[in-house]
Amino acid sequence: MTRNMRLHRSNETRMLRRDGRTRCKYCGTPIEFFDRYDGTRIPLTPEFPVKRIPARLRWHVNRGIAYPGKDGVSVYCRIPHPAVCPAADHPDLPEELAAVVRLLERRMHQAVRDGDFIPYEELSTELEVEHPDPEPAEQVRHIVAYFGILRIGPCAIEDLQCIAEDRKTGRRCDNGVHNVDQGTWELTEINPDQATGRQGQLILDTTQGRVWAWQLTDYHAARRWWAQRCEEHFRSPQPDAVSNEFIPFHPVRHDAFILTERPTGYEPEQADEALIVHEGPGRRTKCARCTNSTVGAAPEGWLCWQCDRDERRRARVHRRRAASHTTEESRATPHHAAWMPGETSRNPSGNPPPRRR
């Protein structure tokens, strides 16, 4: 089915709407994931009237990409699902959305009682709803950084797999994303505003506010890494086979994956350069006609460039003279050669030819 589907040429995202529709694993509410303008993804609710939604919670979708605010034409907008998820705490919930949260909470409890839904776990923040960790989580998860933006992957960077759909197999691409020439391990600053509470302060004291992250070198490399695509599928219109597995790094949530020492084994391979030892000028070969010479061995009778030029000139002159001499001889010879004594082939009678008067 996926092989026969095509993305519209004006679409700026490669995610199919079929793959974006799902249910929140924490409350069971239907949601839609969209690619954000900054390269990450966000779960949005169905459309609500703009007048009933606070300005800071309004989002709209343009060409498959989610942007904050309303689009200026429609009277409807979308809400980020983490802002109204009944499984999360909302300390600053606006009054306009309190009724929406209560309605979703009643639906969640009814689905749990009926056995139609089993909550994943009990949550405490909206951030965990917006960026759920990929399952299952690996023991090693590396942090990737670019221009102060920290995101954590589902595994080590060398094991990061492309999420594009392979055109031949219809399954997820087997190629890797990692390229050792597009980054290096560097100490990167942690956002202190995220390290709140007692646990956050402990992390800042332990790490001195810095973590080892794979620092990308340029913008194009960062775009490919954030899209989680290999070199072959980076600019390909192929849709994603699975959701993007990069999520924003949070020091408290991901404290178990913070690296305090620089990983080894990620340096680019150094090319083996042959060591050239200069052994002096060596033996010289003298020209066969003059005093010029050259370094190294030369065939017997070697001529320098000047003598070689003169030799070729003499050869040309000799060829022209030989050709001119042959032409003059052919012109001096008559068509009928004179009779010579003893020759009988030209005069069978043997008498001398008559003399002309």
348 lies in some domain: no
294 lies in some domain: yes
Estimate the share of the chain in helix, then strand, then coil, as percent rounded to the nearest 5: 25, 20, 55
The pTM of this model reads 0.49
Q: Are 151 and 144 contacting, i.e. CB atoms less than 8 angstroms apart?
A: yes
Which of 7-16, 34-43, 84-93, 106-115 has the lowest average pLDDT?
Answer: 7-16
Q: Could you say which DSSP state residue 80 is in?
A: B
How is residue 103 written in tokens? 């309605």
Which of 103-117, 144-158, 291-305 has the lowest average pLDDT?
Answer: 291-305
119 preceded by a cis bond (ω within 30 of 0): no
What pLDDT does residue 71 have? 82
Strands 149-152 and 76-77: unpaired
What spatial distance separates the first Cα and last Cα of the chain, rounded to whole Å?
114
Question: Domain residues for 28?
Answer: 2-130
Domain total for the chain?
Answer: 3
Same domain, 88 and 189: no
Q: Which residues contact 46 (CB under 8 A, 6 or more apart)?
A: 30, 32, 78
Same domain, 124 and 188: no
Rounded to an integer, the average pLDDT of 230-258 is: 87
330 lies in some domain: no
177 lies in some domain: yes
Render pLDDT for 164-213 as a digit per residue (tens, 0 to 9): 988 888 889 989 999 888 899 999 998 887 777 777 888 888 888 899 99
Question: pLDDT band at 95, cuts 50/70/90?
Answer: confident
357 lies in some domain: no
Query: Which residue do the tokens 């070689």 mark?
Result: 308
CA–CA gap between residue 73 and residue 17 (Å, rounded) = 23
Rounded to an integer, the average pLDDT of 131-142 is: 66
Same domain, 239 and 290: no
Mean pLDDT of the chain: 78
Same domain, 123 and 33: yes
What pLDDT does residue 132 have? 66
Same domain, 22 and 70: yes
Same domain, 159 and 217: yes
Q: Could you say which DSSP state residue 32 is in?
A: E
76 lies in some domain: yes
269 lies in some domain: no
343 lies in some domain: no
Same domain, 227 and 299: no
Same domain, 79 and 111: yes
Question: pLDDT band at 2, cuts 50/70/90?
Answer: very low
For residue 1, pLDDT beyond 50: no
Same domain, 25 and 77: yes
The more confidently predicted of residues 19 and 206 is 206
Same domain, 63 and 113: yes
Same domain, 287 and 251: no
Same domain, 198 and 252: yes
Which of 15-29, 126-140, 279-293 has the lowest average pLDDT?
Answer: 126-140
